Amino acid sequence: MDIRFTITNPEYYEQELIKAYEIITDRTLHPADPERLVLDVIAYISSLLAFKIDWSAKQNLLAYAEGRYLDKLAEFYGVQRLPAQKARTRLKFYLQSPTDNPVLIPKGTRAKGGDFIFETIEEVVLPTGQAFVEVDAECKTPGAKANGLSPGQINQLLDPLPYGIKVTNTSTSMYGTDEEDDERFRECIRLSIERFSNAGSRQAYIYHTKTAHVLVEDVQVISPAPGQVHVYFLLKDGQLPDSQMIELVRKHLNDEKVRPLTDQVFVLVPRVVSYTVNIRYWIHKKDEAKVFFIQQAVQKAVEEFIKDTGRKIGKDVLPEELIQRVKNAGAYKVEVLSPQRIEISAGYVAKGEIQSVQYAGPSDD
């Protein structure tokens, strides 16, 4: 329920000013009276001030604070917004033929792809008799813009190496993120209270997992046995984490300031339950003129259903939910051939794909 600290409706101030004027002057104020223009200006300024007072008061509340005001409010909880993260990739330094001497490739060796410069994060050696060596690298500039550089696109060596060594990326650049947005930060602040638990609560593990990287979107924590903690997580838009992200989260959760001494923590990828969507639908005869728009809306509704089920660990696949979404998109009748109801257990995530979304024509039955 929304709350307001002041009345921000200009009409309220206009009516109050007119009422006060008529009491003071003992005459009726008509719309064409010149005094009315002055009162309208005062009412407008009063409503602007009221709006600013209301907004300022709300910046003291977690549910409404935004931007730097939310950052300051988070200081009471000892929480900081996650900064922008650097995109990462794998660089390959190679020669046409092996050398007779080892070649040192220093930490911080730079390679460029497009407008972005990547630096190696550790020192490596190209051994004698070997034609290439690979090493992880990260973009100098934090942010999501450096994501998506395909293998081969980072190929300009900025720090020349002996023997004519060349460079290329062997993996697509990823994991660059912008600064944590207000809504995600707000959720982490709420969860942060749980981190004070000295018993390793479920919510505390969820909080610490989400603070490992801004791309972590959904977390499920279960304890199959005393002292054992299984942490499953998904990245943004339901993406399954790779080994690099799993290792990052594992190190974060096993920090001595995070993990209770008696807990054994396992960081795991959710197991996938696959399903296909195969539906037929009809529209009402009165909506025949809108058939093109309804078809587009239905297609989008099915795609969103698949995305939403794949964003949450343990979320069941419900045909009735699919039917409701398709009807909300404009369908009159819906027949779901697949999927049937699928109950998703802990540690599993549903991933679907469209087999068929068939428009079966108009109907009024």
**Dist. CA 342–CA 348, nearest whole Å:** 11
Q: Helix or strand or coil: residue 204? A: helix
174 Cβ contact list (under 8 Å, min separation 6): 87, 88, 89, 147, 148
- Give the DSSP letter string of 136-198: EEEESS-SGGGTT--TTS--EESS--GGG-EEEESS--B--BPSPPHHHHHHHHHHHGGGG-S
Tokens of 125: 């050696």
361 Cβ contact list (under 8 Å, min separation 6): 282, 283
Per-residue confidence (pLDDT) for residue 138, from 0 to 100: 97
Per-residue confidence (pLDDT) for residue 198, from 0 to 100: 56
Per-residue pLDDT of the chain (365 residues; tens, 9 = 90+): 788 999 999 999 999 999 999 999 998 888 888 899 999 999 999 999 999 999 999 999 999 999 999 999 999 988 999 999 999 999 999 998 888 889 999 999 999 999 999 999 999 999 999 999 999 999 999 999 999 999 999 999 999 999 999 999 999 999 999 999 999 999 999 988 877 765 578 899 999 999 999 999 999 999 999 889 999 999 999 999 999 999 999 999 998 888 888 899 999 999 999 999 999 999 999 999 999 999 999 999 999 999 999 999 999 999 999 999 999 999 999 999 999 999 999 999 999 999 999 999 998 87
Tokens of 262: 């008696």
**Dist. CA 27–CA 34, nearest whole Å:** 14
Element (H, E) at 112: strand 110-113
**Dist. CA 86–CA 239, nearest whole Å:** 18
102 Cβ contact list (under 8 Å, min separation 6): 125, 126, 127, 128
**Dist. CA 9–CA 54, nearest whole Å:** 12
Cβ burial, residue 219 (10 Å; 0-12/13-18/19+):
buried
Per-residue confidence (pLDDT) for residue 212, from 0 to 100: 93
DSSP assigned state of 285 = G
Q: Helix or strand or coil: residue 62? A: coil
**Dist. CA 141–CA 177, nearest whole Å:** 11
Calculate the alpha carbon distances from 83 to 59, 89, 176, 204, 214 in Å: 21, 19, 11, 21, 8
Calculate the alpha carbon distances from 97 to 91, 109, 132, 166 in Å: 18, 21, 9, 12
